[in-house]
Amino acid sequence: MARWDPGAPERLRQAALDLFDEHGYDAVTVTQIAERAGLTRRTFHRYFPDKREILFAGSERLPPAVAEAVLAADPGLAPLPAALSALREVGTAVSGMVTDSGRRRAVIQSSPELLERERSKSAEVTAALRDALEQRGAGSTEAHLAARVSSIVSEEAFARWADGEGAFTECFDAAETALDAMLAENT
């Protein structure tokens, strides 16, 4: 009925992923993505502020989700365990929802520009975690350190999961164990 088909953002996402797969991230222009989705360059920028961002669609929901999970955790937990339980919970949910994760990962790994952006996304989650931990009563530096250490575990878990090393919770356990082992070994 509409003059334009609905679902423009998702159409753009698919078009972009296909083109990146085919020609490489750098060789693809925003105009090409928009054209394949039946839209114009200007419309691309309505939904995504820049070209990198189309590979991280939906990531803005992660920081609030993590913050909420931390605040919902057992108030008796110390900062680090609270953060870990929140990241385990959110990570499990995310690992069940994500689509195209393999192709997406391959494209991101292929471009420094995209790795840079991915680190920013991680940093946003870590910052939300830090703020939520402070809100639970942790001291400023304690919250910061717990947020960063727990983020290492979570990222290690995601890496293992993406490499097909089992269910996300198993990967998370393994990552936690590996960290404990490394920390215990300090001669």
Partner DNA sequence: TCTCTGATGTCTCACTGTGTCATCGCCAGG
Partner DNA sequence: CCTGGCGATGACACAGTGAGACATCAGAGA
Q: Tokens 């992660």 — which residue?
A: 62
Q: Which stretch binds DNA (CB under 7 A): 44-52, 145-153, 155-163, 168-176?
A: 44-52
- When binding is defined by CB under 7 A, the residue of 23, 24, 40, 139 that contacts DNA is 40
Select from a second copy, DNA, none the partner in contact with residue 179, using the beta carbon and a kind-dependent cut-off of 5 to 8 Å. Answer: a second copy
Amino acid making up residue 105: R
146 belongs to the binding site for a second copy (CB under 8 A): yes
142 belongs to the binding site for a second copy (CB under 8 A): yes
Residue 96 vs residues 29, 167, 175: alpha-carbon distances, Å: 31, 10, 19
| DSSP code string of 100-168 | SHHHHHHHHHH-HHHHHHHHHHHHHHHHHHHHHHHHTT--HHHHHHHHHHHHHHHHHHHHHHHTT-S-H
Nearest alpha carbon to residue 123 among 94, 97, 152, 156: 152
23 belongs to the binding site for DNA (CB under 7 A): no
2 belongs to the binding site for a second copy (CB under 8 A): no
Residues numbered 93 to 112 that lie near a second copy (CB under 8 A) are 112
Q: Half-sphere exposure (CA, 13 Å, Cβ side) for 126?
A: 18
Residues numbered 58 to 77 that lie near a second copy (CB under 8 A) are 76-77
- When binding is defined by CB under 8 A, the residue of 123, 137, 166, 170 that contacts a second copy is 123
Residue 53 vs residues 67, 97, 112, 170: alpha-carbon distances, Å: 22, 19, 14, 30
178 belongs to the binding site for DNA (CB under 7 A): no
Residues that bind a second copy in the complex, under the rule CB under 8 A:
76-81, 112, 115-117, 119-120, 123, 141-142, 144-146, 148-149, 152, 156, 178-179, 181-183, 185-187
Residues that bind DNA in the complex, under the rule CB under 7 A:
1-5, 8, 28-31, 34, 38-43, 45-46, 49-52
